[in-house]
Chain A
């Protein structure tokens, strides 16, 4: 990808976090963190274990309320925020530990991702008439596109509890995609996968970004994946921001190298 390509793909700020501080009792999970996410980019958040990466995602989609700081999403400040409000604003996410609806089929799981777009009244649903029927068919069609995109046609009717780990991760991505989010938060989408599965997942992430223009914020531990996929990377350590910039800048940053490789104390 050439530089001009990348610049035309990436637009203005979609999310801007300012001086976010989040503490649990005496522990500061996030300490005065500021960063932004631009429209259309793949933004990675990396850092050693316990650095506050997942906490940051949880703050973004309203699961945690930061004690200090504000977040602007699409230019609008939000606080306090509830998770379902974040969802209706166009933020979708996947989880580090899979959080699928285990008793439901793949199809139903992904259909659930479109729940906010369905408006039929209870009566219409009860009798499966008018909007009740029309919506089901329309959204089914969209969900089938997601299923085709992720190449999971064969497991459409399988309860997700029975699926292997890699496929569950893919279904979870599908559920987030079905909501057609403006911002997609992926919490370790490749944790516990083998090389082949990681390659598949990387391909899906890049395709989602390029084909649908979805902005993606990603947490990942595999450095080669992060450096290849991301447009910009923010590095956290012990709740503080260490570095922020393109993969190349971050790779050369002394503070980052120290955090990952350790530093001798004199």
Chain B
């Protein structure tokens, strides 16, 4: 794979602060996203990872204002280029959608309307935001250009979704997602349902288009290997909390949070067969999270302090934050011991 372009802009395009999302159930609210904050910089690709149910998709849908009932946003702030999304009225929000924030769903699934031609589903988004397009020829050219960007042949213009392959549908979703040159694009498991070859090609297309158009991208996924190749920074979520956010090289070469370490360790390797160190599932009740650190029940290094205090995000270096007491200056000794255990298990 070609050398990845670095994105070092310091301009924040998306600022999420204290975002909290609950799902109402008869037995009480399930805390899906618990007070997370992060920044997305201009031109950056941010990967959002974590196990199933950790709240990564809910975070994305929260940012997009698409949380479906019984889910609801408890509090928080989502600013896109200075616009507070949560304060937008219905019509203003409708107009903001797709121009401010767009979504690339899992297109191989059922994300396209089965009774509409591909072109009509792209035209409808253009016309609902830019008004009726009278120059049909120009509109066609514009869609052909989008097709070309994502490597789709022009012949699918008049086709229906069921006539396309999974990879093609995914490309249509990418073309649609960037049609209005939004500020931020969120790709939710955009490649998960595809086979590995198509997955890789589609992921590369995604990054290529993103660079050409100059948008910022959040990629949600669980394939750490694939993400490593396309993102600039990775945010690791655990049980609704963001435990670490770091430049991608740091996460793989030097993971800090104990959960990130376990996660990196669980990436399969062809050189050795290793046992899975992390157990599946969240071990606490998501309605009643444990006191202090959310991960302490599964953390190999937890001590009394972790049960008492919730770890704040600690900035260890530029654009790298970790929410773990081990990286608090006052526990340096503990950290050294822990790292030593890790080196010689």
Whether both chains belong to one complex is answered with: no
